[in-house]
Amino acid sequence: MKEQIMLFIKYFLSIKEGTNKDIKASKIKEITFSPKFHQELIKQQYIKKDNNTFREYPFTIDSEEGADYWGMYLEELK
């Protein structure tokens, strides 16, 4: 799980900083976490328990899904 979290943070930063060469200039619109991934982020103190933002970006928890995953919705900058 720690590897998944590090991959998520690396990807998140590459979008936020605009350094991801595979994606045109985009901003993060929304983030989605599975419940397990969300709990692990809390456990590792990346987010606070009652806060629905990750570094000022809103996120939702997909309670329908049981897998350990995260998703990110992007909005292309014009």
Residue 66 pLDDT > 70, yes or no?
no
Please report which confidence band the pLDDT of residue 27 belongs to, taking 50, 70 and 90 as the band edges: confident
Domain range for 69 is: 2-76
Per the structure, the count of domains in the chain is 1
Q: Which long-range contacts (CB under 8 A, 24 or more apart) does 12-20 make?
A: 12/54, 12/55, 12/72, 15/72, 15/74, 16/55
Please report which confidence band the pLDDT of residue 40 belongs to, taking 50, 70 and 90 as the band edges: very high
Residue 65 pLDDT > 70, yes or no?
no
pLDDT value of residue 69: 78
pTM check: above 0.85: no
